Amino acid sequence: MCGIVGYIGPREATPVLLKGLHRLEYRGYDSAGVALVAPTGELNVYKCKGKVSDLERFLDGKDTAGTIGIAHTRWATHGVPNDVNAHPHCSESNRIALIHNGIIENFRLLKDALVENGYTFRSSTDSEVLVNLIEYIRTSNDCSLLEAVQQALKQVVGAYAIAIIEKDNPDRIIAARQSSPMVVGIGKGEYFLSSDAASIVEYTKEFVYVNDGEIAVIERDKPLKVVTLDNHKSRIDIKKLELSISQLEKGGYPHFMLKEIYEQPDTIVDCIRGRINEETLEVKLSGVIDNREKFLKARRIIFVACGTSWHAALIGEHLIESICRIPVEVEYASEFRYRNPIIYPDDIVIAVSQSGETADTLAAVELARKAGAFVFGISNVVGSSIARATDSGTYIHVGPEIGVASTKAFTGQVTVMAMLALTVARERGTISKEYHDEVARALIQLPDTLREVLKVGPQVESLAKIFTYAHHFIYLGRGENYPTALEGALKLKEISYIHAEGYPAAEMKHGPIALIDDEMPTVVIATPDHTYEKTASNIEEIKARGGRIVAVIAADDELVRRSADYTIEVPVITECLMPIVASLPLQLLAYYIAVYKGRNVDQPRNLAKSVTVE
């Protein structure tokens, strides 16, 4: 999605802005641009379709001097990706430049009113409407830029994070936020601005998160000021963020996705650190312990999430229902928020989101809070909107996930759900000591198990070469491995652009079996569990129809090995955690197929890392 970077201070702004834009590239975008107030007093705006490297080439030989600037990567919503629609957008007089993340829903109405007042527009974007609205209010009311921004934003319906600079004021950036992330980095005598703290973490570890309905007034050599749309002063709450640059780099891997797949043994160590006592096997998630009564009395748990996080929640449903005996529902956040759901005050709504910024999940959180439910967040990004909007929660602590395809966040989410289930089940007395300890032990050993799993890398790479011809794939699994199948299919389709569907293995006979032929491979998760024999029979049914099978199996499995065309062996651990184990070869399969097909693995077409618009 769109990205924002801003700088004001003693340095030349352009290198800081471009570096920040590069760090935001992983989020997905189609054009980029910068605006600077030059020492000559000019407001210079440069933008173009394409990558940040295209912008860098475009800047060659241009006047890029200036110690104040804003920069943007655009992911098209209103208007095709081209040079004109790229941000920054200038007001008609070319005195104000604005960058915008989000969507102004009532932009047509506002645009019509501005056209009636003589304004003309260069682009098809909603963002240009906003910058002209600000200018119109400023000139017609003869007010300050801040007042004009406050009044304009009161007329806006939608989501935004904006940053504005002005030709006549080289000493101030104004930034505002509503339902779209925005953070101010505090340096020594300088300020940084971003929609993602990771893009400016090499300059500062101190951040002020701008809240919904707030405007940050960032002035050279002055303390940061944050006010509301009604001009009430907000408290400045500086947060420290410990992130290292190496976490944001590929570390010798060709792609972030591969790095993140191979990081999983270590990210699981970080995820369980301090949460499981290796001697007593006691599992403690403080977010749960601190709200013990809520979890004890919960009538129901409702997960809200999107994409991969939704798949993790489906596994969470298995874990919680089977060991805590609490009814669980798993909802697409985008559906939940619009269908007037029944939410009881003694429900617990758990929002799952890697980025913590997904617009639909955030809206579902707000809905649940309004309905009086206790809202718990499972997110990765510290200080993210969902982490701040929920009553309590827990971080998965897997470090920044840069590849658009979620990998280590998925396994971290499932690991946290397992720890949550064990914590709650012990408090509720719904789990035997033996089973509790078996799962806790498997969690402690999970990093080593995953190291073992990852040894299949070279084998999966060769397998991938065989399947680059395929136009369709089907993924099958049962029980907690049905979500694993969904996740495997999502990974493949999003980065290789091969059509892939996940199904519960038994559902296959109710329609998808018609698709089976020797051109459509079927990937089956057939590790030993209480439905193993049934899955093995489904494999026979596919074989009988000429289908080609890739099966994820246990090392000692002879039955499925005989029927499958290709097998990938994985170690077997306690059944409820097998989705974590089985998902790694599926991540690798998707990765290598995409690489062989020459796809842009880390930034697949049309996709964004964090979906901050609905």
Task: Specify whether 90 is catalytic.
Answer: no
Q: How far is the CB of 472 from ligand M6R (least distance, A)?
A: 19
Rounded CA separation 198/20 (Å): 9
Contacts of 606 (CB under 8 A, 6+ apart): 28
Nearest CA among 265, 254, 70, 99 for reference residue 170: 70
Contact predicate 195/99, CB 8 Å: no
Q: How far is the CB of 405 from ligand M6R (least distance, A)?
A: 4
Neighbours of 465 (CB within 10 A): 12
Set 49, 111, 493, 609: catalytic member: 609
In Å, how far are 10, 101, 134, 161, 185 from 67, measured between CA atoms? 6, 23, 24, 22, 16
Q: How far is the CB of 471 from ligand M6R (least distance, A)?
A: 21
Contacts of 568 (CB under 8 A, 6+ apart): 456, 459, 460, 463, 550, 551, 552, 553, 585
Given the complex with ligand M6R, which of 30 and 529 has the nearer CB atom? 30
Q: How far is the CB of 566 from ligand M6R (least distance, A)?
A: 24
Given the complex with ligand M6R, which of 216 and 417 has the nearer CB atom? 417
Binding-site ranges for ligand M6R (CB under 6 A): 306-309, 353-355, 358, 361, 404-406, 490, 494, 607, 610-611
Given the complex with ligand M6R, which of 19 and 493 has the nearer CB atom? 493
Given the complex with ligand M6R, which of 216 and 312 has the nearer CB atom? 312
Rounded CA separation 337/332 (Å): 9
Q: How far is the CB of 605 from ligand M6R (least distance, A)?
A: 12
Contact predicate 563/519, CB 8 Å: no
Set 2, 271, 306, 576: catalytic member: 2
Given the complex with ligand M6R, which of 283 and 523 has the nearer CB atom? 523
Rounded CA separation 421/318 (Å): 10
End-to-end CA separation in angstroms for the chain: 11
State the burial class of residue 585 (Cβ atoms within 10 Å of its Cβ: 0-12, 13-18, 19+). buried
Given the complex with ligand M6R, which of 146 and 586 has the nearer CB atom? 586
In Å, how far are 20, 30, 45, 445 from 15, measured between CA atoms? 8, 20, 15, 45
* DSSP assignment of 437-461: HHHHHHHHHHHHHHHHHGGGHHHHH
Given the complex with ligand M6R, which of 43 and 490 has the nearer CB atom? 490
Nearest CA among 4, 22, 198, 38 for reference residue 603: 22
In Å, how far are 283, 476, 565 from 507, measured between CA atoms? 36, 9, 22
Q: How far is the CB of 307 from ligand M6R (least distance, A)?
A: 2
Q: How far is the CB of 176 from ligand M6R (least distance, A)?
A: 23
Phi, psi of 383 (to 5 degrees): 80, 5
Given the complex with ligand M6R, which of 361 and 423 has the nearer CB atom? 361
Exposure on the CB side of residue 462, measured as CA atoms within 13 A: 6
Task: Specify whether 48 is catalytic.
Answer: no
Q: How far is the CB of 508 from ligand M6R (least distance, A)?
A: 24
Nearest CA among 162, 182, 164, 183 for reference residue 172: 164
| Unique residue bearing structure tokens 């971003």 | 194
Q: Residue count of the chain, please give it.
A: 614
Sign of CA dihedral 42, 43, 47, 52: positive
Contact predicate 168/188, CB 8 Å: no
Q: How far is the CB of 406 from ligand M6R (least distance, A)?
A: 4
Nearest CA among 515, 587, 506, 570 for reference residue 539: 506
Residue 366, classed as helix, strand or coil, is helix
In Å, how far are 15, 66, 171, 606 from 28, measured between CA atoms? 21, 27, 31, 7
Bridging pattern class, strands 68-74 and 31-37: antiparallel
For ligand M6R, the nearest residue by Cβ is 307
Given the complex with ligand M6R, which of 73 and 406 has the nearer CB atom? 406
Q: How far is the CB of 614 from ligand M6R (least distance, A)?
A: 12
| Unique residue bearing structure tokens 């290796």 | 278
Given the complex with ligand M6R, which of 404 and 485 has the nearer CB atom? 404
Active site residues: 2, 609
